[in-house]
């Protein structure tokens, strides 16, 4: 199982979370990545943890003020990027363009989607993975794998019908080892989470608990 920790814009210490994630990954053998703010990519990457961007724009070099260039994210140490998170929605055409940008920069990609239909549309664009995250559960205390297991199973089936090579992750409310184990039982290859680690009093303890379900 892959664990991708999205720090969003939470007021946490990104380096401290990254160091904890690096240590837990090394000790448990579970693949863990951290997605900080763009300004913190280099500092997080220097910890040795697998580092992801939260977003890259569907652009190349040129006159694009305020956009995150995929090549710049990669140069700062990112090896992957989220796309189309529910808090950073893109049109389907822009998802396609951002995937092209990520491919140019050799970034692994996860495209987020709300439901199985969107998962199928995203999988058709050829990302490395898709993640199903019902918006109403994001930031809550109940995991999608518990609150709506059918949507995870549906997402796995939808992606598999389009492209069996595309992995499916699930997110929204994930925070414990039980959540991780439930996601795996439903066919997911990984999980996305944010507040369960980024807002935890002890991120290391939260990560230890999470990987106990792997």
- The residue from 22, 55, 85, 153 that is catalytic is 85
CATH number for 2-211 (one of 3.20.20.70, 3.30.70.3040, 3.50.30.50, 1.10.10.10): it is: 3.20.20.70
Length of the chain as a residue count: 214
- The residue from 46, 133, 153, 165 that is catalytic is 133
Higher pLDDT, 86 or 55: 55
SS3 130: strand
pLDDT over threshold 80, residue 182: yes
List the binding residues for substrate.
Answer: 6-8, 138, 173, 194-195
- Please state the domain extents for the chain: 2-211
Tokens at 200, concatenated? 């935890």
- Render pLDDT for 72-95 as a digit per residue (tens, 0 to 9): 999 999 999 999 999 999 999 999
Q: Tell me how far apart the alpha carbons of residues 168 and 85 are, in angstroms, rounded to a whole number.
A: 15
List the binding residues.
Answer: 6-8, 138, 173, 194-195
133 assigned to active site? yes
Q: Tell me how far apart the alpha carbons of residues 131 and 1 are, in angstroms, rounded to a whole number.
A: 13
SS3 32: strand
- Render pLDDT for 146-164 as a digit per residue (tens, 0 to 9): 667 788 899 999 999 999 9
Q: How many CB atoms lie within 10 A of CB 51?
A: 27
């Amino acid at each position: 199982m892959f664990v991708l920790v999205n720090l969003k814009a939470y007021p946490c210490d990104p380096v401290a979370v990254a160091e904890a994630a690096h240590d837990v990954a090394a000790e448990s053998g579970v693949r863990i990545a951290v997605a900080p703010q763009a300004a913190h990519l280099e500092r997080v990457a220097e910890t040795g943890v697998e580092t992801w961007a939260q977003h890259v724009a569907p652009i190349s070099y040129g006159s694009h003020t305020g956009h995150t260039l995929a090549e710049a994210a990669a140069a700062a140490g990112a090896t992957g990027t989220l796309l189309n998170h529910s808090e950073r929605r893109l049109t389907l055409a822009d998802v396609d363009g951002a995937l092209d940008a990520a491919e140019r920069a050799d970034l692994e990609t996860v495209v987020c989607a709300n439901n199985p239909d969107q998962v199928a549309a995203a999988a058709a664009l050829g990302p490395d993975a898709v993640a199903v995250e019902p918006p109403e559960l994001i930031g809550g205390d109940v995991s999608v794998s518990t609150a709506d297991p059918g949507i995870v199973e549906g997402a796995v089936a939808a992606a598999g019908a389009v492209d069996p090579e595309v992995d499916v992750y699930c997110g929204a409310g994930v925070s414990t080892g039980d959540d991780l184990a439930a996601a795996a039982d439903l066919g997911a290859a990984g999980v996305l989470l944010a507040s369960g680690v980024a807002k935890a009093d002890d991120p290391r303890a939260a990560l230890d608990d999470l990987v106990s379900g792997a």
